[in-house]
Structure 1
Amino acid sequence: MEEIQASVREKKRALSAENHRIAEQPGFVLHSHMYRESSLVIDVFTRDYGRVALVAKGAKRPSSRLRGVLQTFQPLSIGWSGKSELRTLTSAEWVGGMIPLENSALLYGFYLNELLLRLLAREDPHQGLFEHYVRALTRLATSESAQTVLRVFELALLRETGVGADLSLDVRNNCPVDPEGVYVVDPESGPRPAMLADTAPRVLGKTLLDMVSEDYSDPQTQQQSKLLMRFLLAHHLNGVPLQTRKILIDLRQL
């Protein structure tokens, strides 16, 4: 049934693209900034089209119905038209069903958004990653361990975008990693036994296997996975720091 539904969505997406009009697309606002006097440019993350840039005309006017709708971390049903890189927003409706983020969870949410903005190419669909994003926001809103939520999402992001290696396999022989072994993870290929000259973070094989199974109950796994993901993300971000990460590091929370 899921395959049939995905096929139907793909056909609808192709037909809509031909007409240059998209309607009722599930999505979230990742970021927005002023455009001219009364409009906004918004980056949205959608289920079937990935990250899309849209002009929300008149959204800053006091009378605009969009003023209270185009908020981050709120599930929306979005429509747009046009075929240029910057499309025109035609509709945005709040669909509800999610708990709002509050307090520190808000900052963690902005961290997820910055990762998506920096690592996702525009109009590159990632339906699996969209589901991971919804799941992460839901878990953050229910006060689940932020460390676990962030590590799970970071790893899913690298995998879904095709740059995340299989952490359960030793790249030398394609055999399972040894839980008691000490490894480094090459950002381009994956885990291999650590050597004296390595400068990359050293992690136990158990940590890698815990990450694959999303088990962060071990304090050592928590610490080693944090350092490992910081290293891997820095590589794929070409060393340019994330603004939200700098804030969270200053608060000693990431």
Structure 2
Amino acid sequence: MAAPVQGEPGYVLHRRPYRETSLLVDVLTLNHGRLGLVARGANSARSPLKAQLQPFQPLLLDWQGRSDLKTLVQLEVRDGPAPKGTVALYSGLYLNELLQRLVPEGDPLPELFACYIDSLHALADTTDVEPVLRRFEMAFAQALGYGFDWGWVTDLGREVEPRGYYCYDPGQGILAHPTPETRLQSLAGDTLLGLAAGDYGSADSRRLAKRVMRVLVDHLLQGRPLHSRSLFHKG
């Protein structure tokens, strides 16, 4: 039998009712990656777990079990910031859905876990969410093997030229020449170099980075909808 896990740092990504009185909880953890936990009795009126198993709440988790679906034994709630305001909340839910839908189960990604915590801190402290989202998406792409350098032209093997125009392909990064599958073209070199230097503040940088990340996320989702996107249109 697999050894019980105790005191594992983690966050709730999503939860839903399971059987009569339990919850099925998707969590992101530091050392065990994303996994599913059954919280027995947590959906009953008397259980404190229902209030504790909330998104964005830092937790220390204990679980046990041999199957892919483990059983939550107990948890400890820790202090931590949470997104403030409607747009920040929707942004946090977007991060959670990306992690829940696209991170492979049981694959530890400690750098992405740390970036997620940093993003929650930033969402709790700013009303300008777009730079936070774009930086997280870049870390997310890197963790899943789709990382790229804004300032490097993959098919030419050299740096982006400020006066040049380029393409983006999810599997190859920034390109000088489009492939038949290339969806994004005419990306300005000076804007790409600004992003490479960490500029997510200018209007051009924001617009270009958002377009590129939309294409990447859509590619990873393979046509499946991302439900959190609709929240921004409703808000």
Give the TM bin, normalised by the shorter chain: over 0.9
Give 1:66's aligned amino acid: L
TM-superposed deviation, 1:75: 0.6
Q: 1:209 aligns with which of 193, 198, 205?
A: 193
CA distance in 2, matches of 1:137, 1:105: 9
Partner of 2:93: 110
CA distance in 1, matches of 2:125, 2:48: 29
Please state if 1:231 is matched with 2:215. Answer: yes
CA distance in 2, matches of 1:171, 1:72: 38
Query: Which secondary structure state, in structure 1, belongs to the residue aligned with residue 62 of structure 2?
Result: strand
| Structure 1 residue ranges without an equivalent (≥5) | 1-17
* Deviation by residue 1:87-130 (Cα, 9 ceiling, x = unmatched): 00011111113245332211111111111111101011100000
- Relative to structure 1, the CA distance from residue 116 to residue 215 in structure 2 (aligned partners, 3 Å threshold; closer, same or farther) is same
CA distance in 1, matches of 2:196, 2:106: 28
| Structure 2 residue ranges without an equivalent (≥5) | none
- Relative to structure 1, the CA distance from residue 92 to residue 237 in structure 2 (aligned partners, 3 Å threshold; closer, same or farther) is same
Partner of 1:8: none
- Report 1:47-62 matches (<5 A): 47-62=30-45
CA distance in 2, matches of 1:21, 1:246: 39
Indicate if the aligned counterparts of 2:178 and 2:185 stay in contact, CA closer than 8 A: no
Partner of 2:138: 155
Percent identity among equivalent residues? 38
Task: Provide the TM-score with structure 1 as the length reference.
Answer: 0.85
CA distance in 1, matches of 2:192, 2:29: 31
Indicate if the aligned counterparts of 1:201 and 1:228 stay in contact, CA closer than 8 A: no
C-alpha RMSD over aligned residues? 2.0
Q: 1:94 aligns with which of 74, 77, 96?
A: 77
Paired residues, number:
234
Partner of 1:193: 176
Q: 2:107 aligns with which of 98, 112, 124?
A: 124
CA distance in 1, matches of 2:52, 2:186: 45
Please state if 1:79 is matched with 2:57. Answer: no
Give 2:160's aligned amino acid: V
TM-superposed deviation, 1:243: 1.0
- Relative to structure 1, the CA distance from residue 196 to residue 162 in structure 2 (aligned partners, 3 Å threshold; closer, same or farther) is closer
Please state if 1:143 is matched with 2:147. Answer: no
Indicate if the aligned counterparts of 1:184 and 1:202 stay in contact, CA closer than 8 A: yes
Indicate if the aligned counterparts of 2:62 and 2:74 stay in contact, CA closer than 8 A: yes
Indicate if the aligned counterparts of 1:152 and 1:211 stay in contact, CA closer than 8 A: no
Instruction: Point out 4+ residue stretches in structure 1 off by more than 6 angstroms.
Output: none
Query: Which secondary structure state, in structure 1, belongs to the residue aligned with residue 217 of structure 2?
Result: helix
Partner of 1:3: none
Query: Which secondary structure state, in structure 2, belongs to the residue aligned with residue 52 of structure 1?
Result: strand
Please state if 1:38 is matched with 2:21. Answer: yes
CA distance in 2, matches of 1:51, 1:23: 16
* Deviation by residue 1:212-240 (Cα, 9 ceiling, x = unmatched): 33321211111111111111111111122
